[in-house]
Amino acid sequence: MSEAAANDGNWRRGLRRQLVQALVWGAYVGLSLLQFNTLGGWHSGLLLIALCLGVGLWSGSELLRALALRHGWLRRGLAALAWRVLLAVLLLAAAIQLLIAVLLLGGLALGVLTMPNNHADYSLPAALTYWFNTGVMLSIWMAFWAAIRSREEARRNELARLRAEAERRGLELEALRARLNPHFVFNALNNVRALILEDAERAREMVTRLSNTLRHALLHSQRPSVTLAEEWAVMCDYLAVEAVHFEARLQLDLAMASECAAVELPPMLLQVLVENAIKHGISRVPGGGCLKVRAQPVPGGLRLSVENPGHLGAGAEDGAGVGLSWLQHRLMERGPAARFALVQSDAQHVRATLDWPQ
């Protein structure tokens, strides 16, 4: 949404709010005048009281709203919200009644206003009653506004959650499509065909590993988490398929600490790092190289590291790729304790490191 559109929307909402305010407090002034006329007849002092109450309550409610929004009262606990609203209501009610008293008593003293019996009752019980009634009106308005605002905030949060979920699902779908890349499947099938006559046993093993890899790709979104041992097995199947394709260009150095095997993590978390290393490292370096994968415990969680030959450059290795975009999204969902870094470890190698908290 453009800034102009946002400003126009804010202006329209502000106008609607002020129209509602005018209707509410205008009706309050009208009812007050009817009540005053019934009890004491028509007097200019009573008209002043009604108008000042309407304008004061309108202004006070707007000030309450501004304070609540500026200082985030609705995001606080119930007790913190209650005492802030109570204090603000009491002060504003006192200010409104003080203004009315000054104008009314001054007008009576100057003879420009009239009241029943030309007297305004400002005994202590009467003054406390005026103050209490004004505070009640402000409190009722604040309760209605807070309820409406909280409902709108809940709707916005739900919409934001749904948008984030849709974005995550979209990234997962794109990552799934990337994993089912026809080039990967075609290369694997061609390699199987070549192996059938040369090494039937190895061809059968490759079919099994390819099947495992594709099954995992299709079913990954149906489980919220898997153990590292399960993810490691899928990675090994994937690398076995790629090893047939790259032959001597792909050497493997894999190590997982035994105490990490049962750690829970989202499906594909390790797989994305490995696939990124193959696609943007091994496949682009003439002669290939060694792919090193490590899983080791760290205080508070698990550390995964994947190192491959290559150089950081524009494109997916800078975080623009679908897989790494999905990975960054999952890290944001997990919180600040989940960290990812992709660095040029030396002149010839790139290392991806991911810390996943438990």
Structure tokens at 10: 């804010």
322 and 187 co-located in one domain: yes
pLDDT band at 174 (very low <50, low <70, confident <90, very high): low
Q: Tens of pLDDT along 201-241?
A: 888 888 888 887 777 766 665 677 889 998 898 888 888 88
Q: Give me the CATH number covering residue 334.
A: 3.30.565.10
Is residue 311, in this structure, part of any structural domain at all?
Answer: yes
214 and 77 co-located in one domain: no
Q: What percent of the chain has pLDDT over 70?
A: 87
Average pLDDT rounded to a whole number, residues 101-117: 90
Structure tokens at 44: 């200019």
134 and 186 co-located in one domain: no
State the total domains in the chain.
2
Distance CA(269)–CA(328), nearest Å, equals 10
pLDDT band at 245 (very low <50, low <70, confident <90, very high): confident
φ/ψ of 356, rounded to 5, equals -115, 115
Average pLDDT rounded to a whole number, residues 24-50: 86
Is residue 134, in this structure, part of any structural domain at all?
Answer: yes
Is residue 169, in this structure, part of any structural domain at all?
Answer: no
Is residue 170, in this structure, part of any structural domain at all?
Answer: no
Average pLDDT rounded to a whole number, residues 230-259: 89
Q: Tens of pLDDT along 79-94?
A: 888 898 899 999 999 9
Average pLDDT rounded to a whole number, residues 25-48: 86
Asked if residues 188 and 206 have their Cβ atoms less than 8 Å apart, the reply is yes
300 and 214 co-located in one domain: yes
Q: What is the pLDDT of residue 176?
A: 54
Tell me which residue range forms the domain holding 267. Answer: 180-357
Is residue 332, in this structure, part of any structural domain at all?
Answer: yes
Is residue 261, in this structure, part of any structural domain at all?
Answer: yes
- Can you give the pTM of this predicted structure? 0.51
Asked if residues 324 and 316 have their Cβ atoms less than 8 Å apart, the reply is yes
Is residue 139, in this structure, part of any structural domain at all?
Answer: yes
pLDDT band at 314 (very low <50, low <70, confident <90, very high): very low
Is residue 167, in this structure, part of any structural domain at all?
Answer: no
347 and 293 co-located in one domain: yes
pLDDT band at 136 (very low <50, low <70, confident <90, very high): very high
128 and 234 co-located in one domain: no
